[in-house]
Amino acid sequence: MGDYPVIGFFEQVYRLVCQVPPGKATSYGAIARMLGHSHAARTVGWALHSLPPDRYVPWHRVVNSQGRVSTNCLEHGGGLQQKLLEQEGVEFQPDGRIDWDRFAWPGLPWPEVEALLRDAISEEVTGSPGE
């Protein structure tokens, strides 16, 4: 316990992405920015790529800044991500892009994010959810 009990960046990403409500979408860069790393968009994408299947995280609600699906991992069945989003009511333009003006997740203010991370750290330390 010498080092600060800061949870891994991946974990932070998972926590935050779980806050994205159905029918809304955000970008990797936005997630990174909310976590205080405005230039860690790639890491965010990698975090979702490494996301274990056991854990449910609405990874499909995260697309690139152009509002387009970036998943090159077509092994998931091609337009799986777009399909999941459409099932939630997110509409794709003919260009294959999402209209941010309509489906962009406003995100959480820093205090909310901070509280979220603090709660996650508490779970890591105490081993119990919410205290």
| Residues lying near DNA in the complex (CB under 7 A) | 8-10, 27-30, 37, 39-51, 59-60, 62, 64-66, 70-73, 81, 95
Of 65 and 87, the one with the shorter C-beta distance to DNA is 65
Residues 25 and 103 sit within 8 Å (Cβ to Cβ)? yes
Least Cβ distance, residue 76 to DNA (angstroms): 7
Least Cβ distance, residue 15 to DNA (angstroms): 12
Residue-wise DSSP of the chain: --S--PPPHHHHHHHHHTTSPTT-BEEHHHHHHHTT-TT-HHHHHHHHHT--TTS---GGGEE-TTS------GGGTSTHHHHHHHHTT--B-TTS-B-HHHHB-----HHHHHHHHHHHHHHHHHSSS--
To 5 degrees, how large is the angle CA 56–CA 116–CA 81? 30
Of 48 and 113, the one with the shorter C-beta distance to DNA is 48
Of 74 and 131, the one with the shorter C-beta distance to DNA is 74
Least Cβ distance, residue 41 to DNA (angstroms): 3
Of 93 and 126, the one with the shorter C-beta distance to DNA is 93
Least Cβ distance, residue 106 to DNA (angstroms): 16
